[in-house]
Structure formats: C-alpha cells, structure tokens
Amino acid sequence: MQRRTFLTTGAIGTAATALATPAIAQDKRQWKMVTAWPKNLPGPGVAAQQLADRITTLSGGRIEVKLFAAGELVPGRGVFDAVSEGTAELYHAVPAYWGSKSKGILLFGSQPFGLRADEQVGWMVHGGGQALYDEMYGRFGIKPFLCGNSGPQWGGWFRNEINSAEDLKGMKFRTTGLASEMAAKMGMAAEAMSGPDMFQALQTGALDAGEFIGPWTDSALGYYQVAKNYYWPGVGEPSSAEECGVNADVFNELPDDLKQVVQAASDSLYNQVWTEYTTKHAISLQAMVAEQGVQVKMFPEDVITAMGKAAAEVIDDLRQDDDELVKRITESFVAYRDSVGKYMVYADNGQMNARNLVMGY
C-alpha cells in the first residue's frame, strides 16, 4: 500500500458545523465515530472501520455509524474529548493516548513487561479489570470497551545500532503511554506523535528512533526507508489494546438490545483484529527483510535489564499516586499479571519453547 493512500486527512475546521447531536427517527440513530488514525491505516485504521460496520450490521441499521478519520472532524488526539463532551457518539483509539487525563487509564492499554493480548482480556473479564475500566472512564462520561489488540509491539526503528543501555541516553524517541515514562527514566527524551509524523521526524533527524506498532502497520508507513535497524522485543508494550469509547449518556439511552449490540460488536472484533495483526505482521516482516534490507536485531541484555528496572519504577510511581482509583487499578493489574505469569511458565511459555526445538517439521 502506498503511504499517500491513507495519509490524506480532511479539514479540521469543518468540525464546528459537522458535529451535532445524534439523529433518532423511527428507532434509527446516526452516530459519528471519530478515530485516532488515518483512513484505512493497516491495523488500527482498518479495525476502526470494521467496528463501525459491525455495529451498523448487528443493529440491523438501527445504529448507523459513519467513520471520520483523524483530522476530518477532530484531531486524532482530540477524539476522547469529542466523545466526552457529546460532540461525537463514539471513538476508536488506544488508552495509551489518554495519560493526561489519568495515569491509571494507561494500564488498560499496555504496560511495560505487562500483559499479553489474551491476558489483557482475562484481567478485564475475570480479574476485575472491566469494573475499574468503567469506573475510571465514567469520570469523563464515557463507556469503554476493548475491541482489538495489536499483539506484541516492537522495540522500534533506530537510525543507529544500539550496543548498550548507555547508547539510549539523550536519544529522542517516539513512544506513548507508560512506555514513554519507562523511556524517560532511562534518560531518553520521549516524544508523542502520530505514526505519519514519526516518519517525517525520523527522516529529518528530529527523532533518533521510534516505535509505532509492528511490521504490518510500520511497513505501510514506510519507516524502513529512513531507519534500517528494527529492534525487538518490544517490552514497553507486550500488547496494546484498542478501544471503543461511547458517550455514556448516549449509551445509557439505548434500549437493552442495542447496548448488547455495541458490546457484542466490540467483543467479537477483539480476536479477529488481534489475529489479523499477528498474521500480517509475520508476512510483512519477511517482506521487509527480503526486499527492503531491514536489519532485525535483538536489544542487548543490559538494555532489557535497564528497561525492566525503569518499568518497576513506573509501577512504583503508580502505586504511590495521589488518586486512590489509580492505586486500585495498579494493584489489580499487578496481582493478575503475577498470578497468570507464574502459570504461563508451564503453559504458553513451555509450549513455545518446546515448539522452537522442532521448528521445520
């Protein structure tokens, strides 16, 4: 896919006239979905359109969702406020973008050395995470749902090779969420910017390195053109959940069956989105290595160790936060991660290690 096919955005200035209250006629509603992504960006842009279409279809057209990409009605980082304030009915984005609202929000999307995509659902459904998710977002008038996951993200694209943790100090690095706080504690200058903006910053040297998602999305954005060193593992985001946020008043006014439609549409997309990422990440990585000369490299052990120490400091800060709800979210996350993590040594970790011994049969 050519970068120009999804980097074009509409005029932001149309927002004032285009945003309005939902139209309800003969039990039909017209909802605006604002997103944090360029139109049809492989990965999250595609997933956002799938969610809009699925809500429309499962509701039998009683909720008609029209998607507006980042910049068409509001900037990508403005979608949370647009839905909170009632100027749009729902958004598609990631919790990692809303740390300025509350640090506790960041734990629902990704956590350094944290939960895998399947474990994230386990925490939400079986570990008390959803109740905390609802409580936090309820402060802002939003009803949240997880609706996808990127799976393991990558360590990032680096203009220069990394040989030790010392090489990272002073580096200008694009990342988001709690991973940005981990990076800052390692002496890096963490920068938050969109995926397309990251390409420009790497190209001009305004960034030394950056991570966005993984091979499928990253290759579409063309990062391999401006940085050839592609590092793993992405311990800053072992997974990254995508979310649907619905204006709480709009959601609460729905009849029960349509509330279940929104829930079912979000839930049913989680595995579909996650497994599409996994499948296409694998294909895209092979293509970048074979055709674009990308150098896949593992972070040195001392870099991973330094990241782990910084991540522990990030979690300790959350445990000492002034907000009692942030503390409860943090303790819930840590308890679930530790419990499931101990089991995974025997289960998934054991299976993957065993499979690697006989790859190729």
211 annotated ligand binder: yes
Left if phi > 0, otherwise alpha if psi is -120 to 50, otherwise beta: which for 262?
Answer: alpha
In this prediction, residues 5-17 reach a mean pLDDT of 39
> Each residue of 266-297: pLDDT tens digit?
999 999 999 999 999 999 999 999 999 999 99
Q: What pLDDT shows up at residue 52?
A: 98
The residue extents of the domains of the chain are: 7-150+239-279, 156-237+295-331
CA distance linking residue 42 with residue 216, whole number of Å: 7
Backbone angles phi, psi at 27, to 5 degrees: 60, 30
Fold of 156-237+295-331: D-Maltodextrin-Binding Protein; domain 2 (3.40.190)
237 annotated ligand binder: yes
> Each residue of 132-155: pLDDT tens digit?
999 999 999 999 999 999 999 999
Find all residues with CB under 8 Å of 111, minimum gap 6, and list them.
178, 238, 315, 333, 337
Determine how β-strand 209-210 pairs with β-strand 142-149.
Answer: unpaired
Q: What pLDDT shows up at residue 44?
A: 98
Q: What pLDDT shows up at residue 274?
A: 98
pLDDT band at 10 (very low <50, low <70, confident <90, very high): very low
Please give the mean pLDDT across all residues of the chain. 93
212 annotated ligand binder: yes
Nearest to 159 by CA among 146, 177, 171: 171
> Each residue of 171-187: pLDDT tens digit?
999 999 999 999 999 99
116 annotated ligand binder: no
pLDDT higher at 229 or 12: 229
Nearest to 97 by CA among 86, 85, 87, 82: 82
- 37: burial class by Cβ within 10 Å (0-12, 13-18, 19+)? buried
CA distance linking residue 140 with residue 17, whole number of Å: 24
Q: Strands (DSSP E) along the chain, which ranges?
A: 23-25, 28-35, 63-68, 90-93, 142-149, 156-158, 172-174, 189-191, 209-210, 229-232, 241-247, 295-298
**285 alpha carbon, distance to own chain's centre:** 20
CA distance linking residue 136 with residue 142, whole number of Å: 9
Nearest to 234 by CA among 92, 96, 40, 331: 96
Count of CB atoms within 10 A of residue 13's CB?
8
Cis omega before residue 233 (within 30°)? yes
pLDDT band at 301 (very low <50, low <70, confident <90, very high): very high
191 annotated ligand binder: no
Q: What pLDDT shows up at residue 8?
A: 39
Domains 7-150+239-279 and 156-237+295-331 share a fold: yes
Q: In this predicted structure, which of 107-116, 306-315, 351-360 has the lowest mean pLDDT?
A: 351-360
pLDDT band at 360 (very low <50, low <70, confident <90, very high): confident
Determine how β-strand 28-35 pairs with β-strand 23-25.
Answer: antiparallel
Fold of 7-150+239-279: D-Maltodextrin-Binding Protein; domain 2 (3.40.190)
Q: What pLDDT shows up at residue 24?
A: 52
Q: Strands (DSSP E) along 69-215, which ranges?
A: 90-93, 142-149, 156-158, 172-174, 189-191, 209-210
> Does position 157 have pLDDT exceeding 90, yes or no?
yes
CA distance linking residue 55 with residue 61, whole number of Å: 8
C-alpha distance from residue 347 to each of 102, 260, 334, 338, 353 (Å): 34, 33, 19, 14, 10
Q: What pLDDT shows up at residue 25?
A: 56
Q: What pLDDT shows up at residue 1?
A: 40
pLDDT band at 3 (very low <50, low <70, confident <90, very high): very low
Q: What pLDDT shows up at residue 189?
A: 98
**169-172 long-range CB contacts below 8 Å, 24 or more apart?**
171/208, 171/209, 172/206, 172/207, 172/208, 172/209
Tokens of residue 317, six digits: 């800060």
pLDDT band at 26 (very low <50, low <70, confident <90, very high): confident
> Each residue of 68-125: pLDDT tens digit?
999 999 999 999 999 999 999 999 999 999 999 999 999 999 999 999 999 999 999 9
